[in-house]
Each structure stands twice: as structure tokens, then as C-alpha cells.
Amino acid sequence: MRNQEKRNTINRFTIKMQKKLLILFMCILAAFAGLSVQLFLINRDNGEDYKKQVLSQQEYDSTTIPFKRGSIIDSNGTVLAVSNKVYNVILDANLLMQDEKNLEPTLSALKKIFNIDTGTVRTYIAEHPNSAYYVMAKRVEYEKKAAFEELQKDPEQGKNIKGVWFEDEYRREYPNGSLACDVIGFTTNDNVGTYGLEEYYNDILCGTNGREYGYLNDDSTLERTTIPARDGYNIQTTIDANIQAIVEKYLKEFNEEYKDSYRPGNGAEGLGCIIMEVNTGNILAMADYPNYDLNDTRNKQNLIGMPLLDDKGNKVKPTEYVTQESLNSMDDELMYQHLNALWKNHCLVDSYEPGSVSKPFTVAAAIESGAITGNETYLCEGKLYVGDHEISCHQTYGDGRISVQEGVERSCNVVLMNVSFALGKERFVDYQHLFGFGLKTNIDLAGEPRTDTVVYKKDTIGITELATNSFGQGFNATMIQVATGFCSLINGGYYYEPHVVSKITTADGATIENIEPRVLKQTISNTTSDTIKEFCNTVVTGEHGTGHTARPAGYMIGGKTGTAETLPRGNNEYVVSFMGYAPADDPQIVIYVVVDRPNVFPQDDAKHATRIVRKILTEVLPYLNIFMTEELSDKEREELEQLQIQIRMPEGTQEEELDEEGNPINPGETEEGAEGEGQPEEPEEEPEDTVDREVWRDFPLDPATGYLVDPNTGNFLDPNLGTVIGGGSLLGETPEDAGEGDGAGEEGNTPGSTEPEVTE
């Protein structure tokens, strides 16, 4: 009985509970149904808004990790260009305005640390209250970032500083300012290289940006994935910062000395210098003036004194020069043309008539081809008739009968014209191309132009063009072309491709590529090269040499002077230059200095270039551990001591009689006047010419200029050489359209005019 009652009670309880559970289940089911309906309605009516919020959150949590651009260093490891981390200050206005009490403390901190204009920020917040990304300041230093973060940590001041974060970035910096600016180039704000190495090696220096992603997983938890950035590679250059600094010092010194001297403007319209290793093609220094600070590339003050340009980048005719007044009146396009002219590497991009620096090339071609032996003699009477044209020598009174070596030493145009006639037009053109004229050198710098249109071809060169081209008139070349080709003349004939970068490395120093010296061809034989060195040595050491003033104290060097009259002929404007090498007996380096229209009158004096060479080599040669070989005069010792140059001479150096300027007196001759080593043999036949070629020695001296004055013509003459300085171009009766050239000159795109010119 009892068991029966117990079973009935359990059954009643079970049925009752089942009913309750059923009711509870129905309620829960109804709640889920209601929630589902609500979710459906939210998704239908507000789904896009919520989707945007999620995507916005994902974008906010996905940031770019910038790469670090590779560094540029010199041959000794000195940093020339580097990228340092900086920070952009970003405002999240939406986060900041979630509580209005955060606004004033945040703005106050931004003003205090970064000096940000809070009025501009207020305006932006009012117009974009939901913005999550607004750049308030760019490229701030780490010190300021750290100061702001310290302020945020302050329990009192920092608790209401909200909505500010920092974005990483790199800023390109050049620790040495203007040093090697034309070689290095610079970068734009978007990290793209412009000019020089920065442009040429842009793909090497650039890396790849990384990325940090933030996203919500299935549990609504914020997850992060980071793809690191790959930094750019570093490049090590052949440039020696110490040599580069010496070169730039003396180019600037020349400018300061002659600035506003004869006319308003810089000391010259252009100054350039290249120093390169003879046996490798390594560029040790390359500079022109005016230069600019790589950290302040748009400083307009650097333009003052430069030639004034039109809106197409051409020089205004007649030539004018930039002044503060003209600078203030320039529009953006005209300003860009002038800045572009400032930024260019003129050692690389400008072509000009090289003048007599090209004479050793003509002689080398003639000897190498067998057209001459080098022992020939020619009679110079001060001019030579070529076709219907009278072409003058720079020595108005003629040099008499002289050898080919003396023709190089004295820089005689008549000798060179005769040498070119022996060579012939076709072989002359062939050797011009062999020496690299009209061709790119393929140096690893941005901006090298094509020059095939500024030299003659076999079907365009005539006899007059051949004559004038023989001494560097009527065709154009660039400084790097001339310097590279000249190295082959004195190193045994090996034409090295010039280059500025020697190594490419990773950020941690691992070598990616070594760039070794590369011989492209052999231009002449070793024997011909030795002859050319012998001839060029007398330019500096010979009694009638035109390059005496290039010799640094204690050293014997060789080289060749050059003077080229610019177009239009007869304008008394010249490009003067000197190509030198040291030491004379075993050349290690070549130095080429070009002075474009020095700010003096008269301009056609190669000493404006040789004196720069002398000053540069006086410091560079001891630095390169090249020993002195010549005795020093007291004056030279004093000069070196003032410069704090260490006098390094090998034992057994013989004393040599020097003049008061420290130059050897009649080098190569004994006291008895015997023929010395390296001097040309006397011609077997007696000279046909017996006219006194040195009547100029009795001419009166002009105290104002230091030149002799020809009483018959009024021309100025060099008191040591008797060569004409200024006073016109001494042209013969030559028609304006002489020859086949169309007159491009140093600024043209076609071979220069063949109108005869006096060029020393």
C-alpha cells in the first residue's frame, strides 16, 4: 500500500515538472526567436554602419612599417648619407572626443611639446569629429616623442591626454652638408632618389615596407600579424671625403677671390674638378661650384651669382647673372630651372670644347697608327692656311721649326694641324671614338648625356674641321669623357670604365657585390703611352712649357693646359683648363680642373686652372702617401709649413736649382747645357726659319695687368711665354660659315663651329 502511494506521488511530480519545463522551454524559444528577429532588423537597417565600424577598426589596427633607406659611405667608411628614424604625430579625433574633458589637456600637451597650432587642430576636430587619422606634425625627433610619452605617464597631467599616437618614418640626412653634393644627389619627400648616386642606385638603396595587421578573431579578440620591413642595401663609394673636401675648399677659394671681380657674379660661370685613379677608374673626388647643402636643397641664396636663365633653362643673352632682385621676381617655373641648374653635376652633364687638352690625343692617335714617328719637325710661322681659311696659332710670332714634342710643350696649333693631316680624317674620327669622345662613359651616376651629336663623323668632317679638331676646337666633350680617355693615354693604353661605387652591402655589413675595376679596351700601346707621358712631362718641366704653375712643391708632374674660346667667336670669353697627373714618372692619379669663363679680363690664361691644380695637389699628394722627389726652396718650405703639410722625401734626392717660384730652372739640362734625359733630339737639318720669334720680350709691361703689350696690335702677352692673352681671337680672314659645322660650341648639340680660333 505504501509503495503504491509512493509511486503515485513520483508520477504526479514528474508530470508537474514536465509541464514547467515545457513552459520554460517555450519561453526560451520565444526569447531566441525575438532576438533573431531583432538581429535581422539590426542587420537590415544598420548593417552597413556596423560593417564600416568593423572595417574602420581593422584599418586603424593595420599600420605600415617603413623600410630604412641604405646608407652611402666614402671609401674610408665616412657616412655621406644616412636615414634616421623620426615620427609623425597622429590624432585620433574620434577617440579624443569620447570625453570632452580630454580635449584641453591633450591640446595643451601638443602645444607644449611639439608647438602645434592648436587652433588648426580645433578646426579639424570640429569638421571631422569621427576621424581616426590626422597628421598634426611630421618627422619629429625621438627626444620630443619621448618627452610627450613621459607626459602621458604622469598621474595628474597624463590621465586626460588621449587620442595621440606616433607613426614611424625615416628622414634622409647628409652629415657633411654640401660635401660631394653633385655626386650624392638627394631624395624627395617620398623617398625617391634624385640626381647622383641617390638616383642611379635608387633600387639598391630602397627596401620594402613591412606591415602590421590587427584583426578580430572568432572570439572577438584582437590579433596581430607582423611582416617586417626589408631595409635597403648600403653602398660604399670610391670617393675619399678628405680629398673631396680639399678639392671643394680650393674651388670655393677661387670663387671668393674672383667673385664680382670684373663683372657681377661668381668667380667663374662654372668650376669643376675630377680626381681619379689612373689604373682603376676609381673616382676619388668630383666637384663643381657653386654647390648646395643636401639638407637644404632649395636654398635660393645659392643661386645668386649664377648665369640668369629663361623659363626653358637656357642662358639669357646677353649674359646676365642672378641677383637678389631677380631672385625675388622669379615665378615657380623659373625658380625650378635655376635650381635644376644648381643641382646638376656639371662634370658629368655639360659639354664644351676641350681646347688644347685634346692635343695629346691627336698626337697619340698619329703615333699609334704609324702616321708619324713622333720625331718629325714642323715650321710654325704663327698661322697656317687650310683651304680658304687662315688659322692662327696662339703664338702670334710663330714658334719656328719645332718637333712634335715641342709642339705639345708649347701647345702649338700649327704642329697639331700638320699632325692631323698626316693622320687623315677617317683615322682621326676612328681614334676619337676609341678614346671615348661622342660616347657615354657609363659612369654609375645619373644624368650622363649622349654626346654623339657634338662630334664629327667620317661623312661630315672636312679638312678645316680636321685642322681645328686637332687642337680641341669644333667638337664638344664632357669632363668625365676627357679625364677617362686621358687616363688611358698615360697608363699604357688601358681604358677603364669610370665608377663611383666599389661595394654594395646589407644593413648588417654582409657584402652583396664587389664592383671591380673594368678594362673596356686598349686605346694605344704601352710604347705610345710612354711617349705621350714624355711629351706631357715637358709641359710642366720644359723651358717653354705652358703648365709650370701647376707643379706642387716637391713633386714632378705632367699634364696639358687648355684654352677654348666660347661661341660666338671673338667674344673674349674662354674656358681654361689643366689636365695633370702625378707622379710624372709613374702616374697614380689624374686631376682635371676646368674654369668656365673666369670673372677676370682677359680670361684666356690657363694659370687660372693650373694654380688651382697646384694648391689641390700640394695637399692631396702627401695625403696619398706619394713622396716628394724634388728639393724645396725656402719659400716653398714656408708655404708648406703654413699649410702644415708634412714634408716627405725619399733618401738620396738630388738637389735641383729652382727659381724663386720653386720651379726647376732648365730641367733636363746639365750646367754645361748638355742634352738631358727626356728631351727631344735635335733635328738633323737646320731650321729653315731664322726670324726672331721672341721680339715680344722687349715689349713694354702693363703694370695694371702684369702682361706685356704689343705696341703694334695692343694685344696682351704672357711675359714668360709670349702667348697672346685676350685682345681678341686673332682670327684670319675667315667667313662666318667656314667649314661644315653649324656652331654649337660648349652649349650646343652639334659639332662646334670650325671658325678658326686661338687656343693655347
**Could you read off the pLDDT of 239-249 as tens digits, one per residue?**
999 999 999 99
What backbone torsions phi and psi does residue 304 show, to the nearest 5 degrees? -65, 130
Name which residue leads in pLDDT, 24 or 437: 437
Q: What is the pLDDT of residue 287?
A: 97
Residue 159: CB partners within 8 Å, gap ≥ 6?
none
Three cell numbers written together for 477: 666633350
Q: What is the pLDDT of residue 702?
A: 72
Pair 229, 65: CB distance under 8 Å: yes
Other Cβ atoms less than 10 A from the Cβ of 187: the count is: 24
Give residue for cell 729652382: 658
Predicted confidence band of residue 211 (pLDDT cuts 50, 70, 90): confident
Query: What is the rounded CA–CA span in Å between residue 367 and residue 89?
Result: 70
DSSP H or E run through 10: helix 2-60
DSSP string, 306-345: SBPB-TTSPBPSS--B--HHHHHT--HHHHHHHHHHHHS-
Predicted confidence band of residue 686 (pLDDT cuts 50, 70, 90): very low
CA 697 to chain CA centroid, Å, is 44
User: How large is the average pLDDT for residues 38-59?
Assistant: 58
Average pLDDT of the chain is 84
Query: What is the rounded CA–CA span in Å between residue 403 and residue 96?
Result: 89
pLDDT above 70: residue 737: no
Query: What is the rounded CA–CA span in Å between residue 29 and residue 503?
Result: 75
For the stretch 223-273, pLDDT in tens is 678 888 999 999 999 999 999 999 999 999 999 999 999 999 999 999 999
What backbone torsions phi and psi does residue 169 show, to the nearest 5 degrees? -155, 165
Enumerate domains of the chain plus CATH numbers.
86-170 (3.30.70)
Q: What is the pLDDT of residue 592?
A: 98
Residue 372: CB partners within 8 Å, gap ≥ 6?
363, 366, 404, 419, 422, 423
Q: What is the pTM of this model?
A: 0.81
Q: What is the pLDDT of residue 59?
A: 43
Q: What's 429-467 look like in SS3?
A: HHHHHHCCCCCCCCCCCECCCCCHHHCCCCCCCCHHHHH
Query: What is the rounded CA–CA span in Å between residue 142 and residue 43?
Result: 46
pLDDT above 80: residue 21: no
User: How large is the average pLDDT for residues 363-388?
Assistant: 94
For the stretch 506-530, pLDDT in tens is 988 899 999 999 999 999 999 999 9
Q: What is the largest CA-CA distance in the chain?
A: 168
Percent of the chain at pLDDT > 70 equals: 80
User: How large is the average pLDDT for residues 677-700?
Assistant: 49
Query: What is the rounded CA–CA span in Å between residue 757 and residue 44?
Result: 90
Pair 96, 106: CB distance under 8 Å: yes
Query: What is the rounded CA–CA span in Å between residue 90 and residue 77?
Result: 37
Pair 410, 381: CB distance under 8 Å: no
Most confident of 99-113, 120-134, 304-318, 492-506: 492-506
The strand pair at 79-91 and 234-237 is best described as unpaired
Pair 590, 483: CB distance under 8 Å: yes
